[in-house]
Structure formats: structure tokens, C-alpha cells
């Protein structure tokens, strides 16, 4: 089955083309509305000017004594003044008969004047003539009155095409819209290019990481908050992946070493017994050592299996109600009597018998791991203090040793799977799962495990567990 994948386009091209398309559509809509508005406004303004012209001619006609000779001059003078709009000016008698006119620019049937003068009550009327061009005209009339008596009419006829002729305005509007389109395209192109550059750099850095090169260079101090967060997060991810890759390599080497050492030892001991290089009690001792090494290998494998199962949520937690003082006292006592070396253990319990819900076996795993780590941190004369106290709605168990502390550069990684400090690698065999496993158990019980402090005076780990108010009867 073949899947057709759509061709990929660059971010710059994607946003630029879509923005330009949106901009053009918007400008076209704005242009159409603007052209309609300009046409209507121009038409209304020119009709208003035509009314004023008709009124002026009527007033001058009344004031003129020798109308036969002077009125044609008035009409000609006004006609020259507004020659661009090509109006037809008529002076009519009260019955609608033409007395004076300028040279008409349009053919207007004479029978329209009596109808318009005698029957129409409108000062401005729109008329459509059924000629070849099917033209539409606006007819503006103004009475010539003196002492309340109408002596005639001034009629000005404009074609709609001439009144609404705004070609120059349309040209300016088109130039303005084209300029806006170009400026908008340039703006989005520059901004998209600026925005896509760091994203492209992150993409190239991701390819380097895919090839196993975690040393990537990305720009610093980006002004855009989101882009800056992306670059910063990617850098942190790259550093994290590099650390995990280092841990993976160390894990492989560590597991190989931890398993190879006992296997080699067991193989040599058993071979010596088989070849009867050692016999009697010495052979039994060799077998005992081999069994101990096998037991250590089994424990390491069990730790791996248990950790993986717990990480996948396969190990259940069985919460039970216990008195925290009694439970901690019992766990620390059992641990202390199993130690071959002398350990000075101090217990600082709560004044009240606080009740908690906890899995006692899981809590024992956490405490035993912390106690073992505290004992291993001191070469001799280990002093470990287990202190209980309340903090809000939680019971806190602090486990403090008198060791030399964890190096500062390793403190952030101690809860990472398979991480082992440089000092511990040389002294103690293991897989580096103790603290991560203990943290997972604590969180599964509704609490947490944290490193409280670690310096030259010692190290303190804190176990946080939710408490239940009440006393043990």
C-alpha cells in the first residue's frame, strides 16, 4: 500500500504565500467597497453642485433686465465654468418650452420638459431613456420666481456617466492598494524570514543529533519569547540526550564489568575445583565463594528485573496502616544487627504516635538502601542519624550520614537510572538503580524522596510520606 505524501514547503514560503493571498483578498474587498463609496460620494456632491448652479442661474436671470441678450451669455459663462462635467442647461417657460440653452451634449427629447415641469414634483429626478445607449440622466430643476410668480424654470441635465466619472480617483485608489500589497508582502517576508531562521537552525541541529552529534550551536538571546523558549528547551534537550548517551555507555560498560567480574571469578574457582588444584576444605571454601558470587549476580539481575517492572507499573503497592515510630524502629533494628562492621545509629522519633498508610516492605527497601549508602560513604566509624518530624500534612524521615558528601556536579544526576558517582564506581559494585528505584517507590506511596543536603559534613536524604491524624490505641 502506497501513501501519497504531500510535498513539503518551507515555513517562509508557507506563511508568505498565505499572507499575500489573504492580503490580496482583503485589499480587493476594500477596493470594491471604496470604489462604490467614491462613486456614490462623487455623484451626490456633483448633484449638490448642480443644484447650486441651477439656483445661481435662476437668481441671475431674475436680476437681468435685458434677458434676450444677456441670458445666453450667462448660460455660456456657466457652461464654460463646468465644461468638464458636460451639463446641458435649459431655460424654460412655465409650460416647459425651451427659451434658451447651451449647445446640448446629449440628445434629450423635448417632450420630456413639459412632463417634468408640469407633473413632476421632484427637484431632482433620475430618468432612463430608451435610446441606443440606454443612458441614464439626472434632471435638476429650479424655478425662476419674483414676487411669488414663476416666470420659468432653469433645468440642468447631467448624464449619470458624467456625474460619476471618477477615473482619476480610481487610479489613485489602485496605486494605493498596490503599494499596500507590496509593503504588506515585504513586511511579512522579512518577519517570516526572521522567525524561520532560528527554527531552521533548530531543525538542522536536530539532524546533527539524529546523527549522534550532540554538540550543537544555536543563537543566544532571541527577542521573541516563544522562539527563545524553543531554542533554550532544545539546548537543554541536547545536553540531556548527551548525558543520557554517556550514561548509556557507562551502563553498558558497568553492567558488562559487574557481570564479567563474578563470572570470571566463578569460572576460575570452579575450574580449580574440577582440576583438583584445591581439595578438601579449601575446595569447599572455593565453592562457598562461588555461591556468594552467584548470589550477587542473582541480586543484580533481580534488581534490573524489579526496576523495569516497577517503572512499567507492574509491581503493586499494598498500603497498610502503621505507627511510623514503631515501623522505623523495627526496620533500623533489623538492618543494624545484619551489619558486620560497627555502625553508630541514632534514632530521633516523633513525640506522638502518628499513623501513616504505607507499604512496610517498600518503606524498608527505601530505608535499607539509604542506610547502606550512608554506611558505604564512610570508610570507618560510620555515624548515621534517622530523624522523624512533621511537616504540614506529611511525615518526614531524614537519613543523615557523616561521609564526605556527594560532589556538587553529580548531585543533579543521582536519581538518574544507572548513574553511579566516580567514587562509588571504584568502591562499591552495583548498577546505580538504588536511588531511582527508591524514589519511584516513595512516589508510588504518595510521597517523595529528595536529597536535602550534601557537603563535606555529610549527606541527608529526606523521605516524605502522607500521614493520617490519630493515635495508636
Per-residue model confidence as pLDDT tens for the chain (473 residues): 444 555 666 667 777 788 888 888 888 998 899 888 888 888 888 888 888 888 887 877 776 665 555 555 566 665 555 545 578 888 888 877 887 777 776 677 777 777 777 777 788 888 777 656 667 888 888 888 887 788 888 888 888 887 777 777 888 888 888 888 888 888 888 877 777 777 777 777 778 777 777 777 777 776 767 777 777 787 778 877 777 777 666 666 656 656 666 777 778 878 887 887 777 888 888 888 788 777 767 766 766 666 666 555 556 678 888 888 898 988 888 888 777 777 888 888 888 878 888 888 888 888 888 888 888 877 777 888 999 998 888 899 999 988 878 888 777 777 776 666 655 554 555 566 778 878 888 888 888 998 888 888 888 999 999 887 554 44
Q: Is the dihedral of CA 421, 422, 427, 433 positive or negative?
A: positive
Q: Among 298, 293, 297, 354, which residue's Cα sits nearest to residue 328?
A: 354
Residue 463: the pLDDT is 92
Q: Among 388, 384, 412, which residue's Cα sits nearest to residue 400?
A: 384
**CA-based end-to-end distance of the chain:** 71
> What letters, b where the CB count within 10 A reaches 16 and e where it falls short, cover 349-368?
bbeeebbbebbeebbbbbbb
Cell 515510630 belongs to residue: 325
CA distance 318 to 333: 23
Check if the beta carbon of residue 465 is closer than 8 Å to that of residue 319. no
Residue 472: the pLDDT is 44
Residue 198: the pLDDT is 76
DSSP 8-state code for residue 64: -
Residue 199: the pLDDT is 75
Indicate the SS3 state at residue 141.
strand
Give the residues across from 467 on adjacent strands.
356
Helices (H), 338-453: 360-376, 422-427, 434-444
The pLDDT tens digits of the residues spanning 402-457 come to 887 888 877 777 777 666 665 555 455 556 677 887 888 888 888 899 888 888 88
Domains in the chain, start-ordered, CATH in brackets? Answer: 11-168 (3.30.450.20), 231-314 (1.10.287.130), 320-468 (3.30.565.10)
Residue 431: the pLDDT is 61
Residue 461: the pLDDT is 92
Q: What is the helix (H) or strand (E) element at residue 325, kind and residue range? A: helix 324-337
Cell 518503606 belongs to residue: 363
Model pTM score: 0.44
Check if the beta carbon of residue 438 is closer than 8 Å to that of residue 365. yes
Check if the beta carbon of residue 137 is closer than 8 Å to that of residue 127. yes
Residue 313 gets the label, from left (phi > 0), alpha (psi -120 to 50) or beta, of: left
Q: What is the helix (H) or strand (E) element at residue 394, kind and residue range? A: strand 394-401
Helices (H), 125-224: 160-163, 167-210
Amino acid at each position: 500500500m502506497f501513501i501519497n505524501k504531500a510535498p513539503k514547503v518551507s515555513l517562509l514560503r508557507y506563511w508568505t504565500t498565505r499572507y499575500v493571498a489573504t492580503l490580496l483578498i482583503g485589499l480587493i474587498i476594500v477596493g470594491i467597497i471604496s470604489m462604490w463609496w467614491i462613486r456614490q460620494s462623487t455623484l451626490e456632491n456633483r448633484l449638490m453642485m448642480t443644484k447650486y448652479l441651477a439656483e445661481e442661474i435662476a437668481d441671475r436671470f431674475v436680476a437681468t433686465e435685458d434677458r434676450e441678450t444677456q441670458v445666453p451669455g450667462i448660460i455660456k459663462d456657466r457652461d464654460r465654468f463646468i465644461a468638464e462635467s458636460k451639463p446641458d442647461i435649459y431655460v424654460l417657460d412655465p409650460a416647459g418650452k425651451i427659451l434658451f440653452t447651451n449647445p446640448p451634449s446629449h440628445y434629450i427629447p423635448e417632450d420630456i420638459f413639459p412632463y417634468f415641469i408640469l407633473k413632476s414634483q421632484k427637484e431632482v429626478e433620475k430618468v432612463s431613456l430608451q435610446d441606443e445607449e440606454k443612458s441614464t440622466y439626472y434632471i435638476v430643476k429650479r424655478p425662476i420666481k419674483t414676487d411669488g410668480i414663476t416666470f420659468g424654470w432653469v433645468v440642468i441635465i447631467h448624464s449619470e456617466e458624467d456625474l460619476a466619472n471618477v477615473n482619476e480617483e480610481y487610479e489613485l485608489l489602485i496605486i494605493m492598494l498596490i503599494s499596500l500589497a507590496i509593503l504588506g508582502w515585504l513586511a511579512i517576508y522579512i518577519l517570516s524570514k526572521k522567525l524561520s531562521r532560528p527554527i531552521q537552525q533548530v531543525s538542522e541541529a536536530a539532524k546533527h543529533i539524529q546523527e549522534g552529534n550532540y554538540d550543537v550551536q544555536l543563537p543566544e538571546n532571541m527577542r521573541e519569547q516563544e522562539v527563545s523558549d524553543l531554542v533554550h528547551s532544545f539546548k537543554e534537550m541536547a545536553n540531556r540526550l548527551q548525558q543520557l548517551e554517556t550514561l548509556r555507555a557507562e551502563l553498558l560498560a558497568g553492567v558488562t564489568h559487574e557481570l564479567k567480574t563474578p563470572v570470571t571469578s566463578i569460572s576460575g574457582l570452579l575450574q580449580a575445583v574440577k582440576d583438583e588444584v584445591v581439595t578438601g576444605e579449601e575446595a569447599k571454601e572455593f565453592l562457598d565463594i562461588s555461591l556468594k558470587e552467584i548470589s550477587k549476580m542473582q541480586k543484580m539481575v533481580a534488581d534490573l528485573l524489579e526496576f523495569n517492572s516497577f517503572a512499567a507499573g507492574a509491581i503493586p503497592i499494598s498500603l497498610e496502616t502503621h505507627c511510623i515510630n514503631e515501623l522505623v524502629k523495627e526496620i533500623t533494628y533489623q538492618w543494624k544487627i545484619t551489619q558486620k562492621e560497627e555502625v553508630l545509629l541514632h534514632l530521633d522519633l516523633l513525640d506522638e504516635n502518628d499513623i501513616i498508610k504505607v507499604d512496610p516492605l517498600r518503606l524498608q527497601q527505601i530505608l535499607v538502601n539509604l542506610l547502606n549508602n550512608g554506611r558505604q560513604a564512610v570508610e570507618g566509624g560510620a555515624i548515621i542519624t534517622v530523624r522523624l518530624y512533621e511537616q504540614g500534612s506529611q511525615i518526614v524521615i531524614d537519613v543523615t550520614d557523616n561521609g564526605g558528601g556527594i560532589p556538587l556536579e553529580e548531585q543533579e544526576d543521582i536519581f538518574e537510572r544507572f548513574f553511579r558517582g566516580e567514587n562509588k564506581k571504584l568502591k562499591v559494585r552495583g548498577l546505580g538503580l538504588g536511588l531511582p528505584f527508591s524514589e519511584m517507590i516513595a512516589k508510588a506511596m504518595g510521597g517523595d524522596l529528595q536529597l536535602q543536603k550534601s557537603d563535606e559534613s555529610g549527606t541527608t536524604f529526606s523521605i516524605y510520606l502522607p500521614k493520617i491524624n490519630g493515635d495508636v490505641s
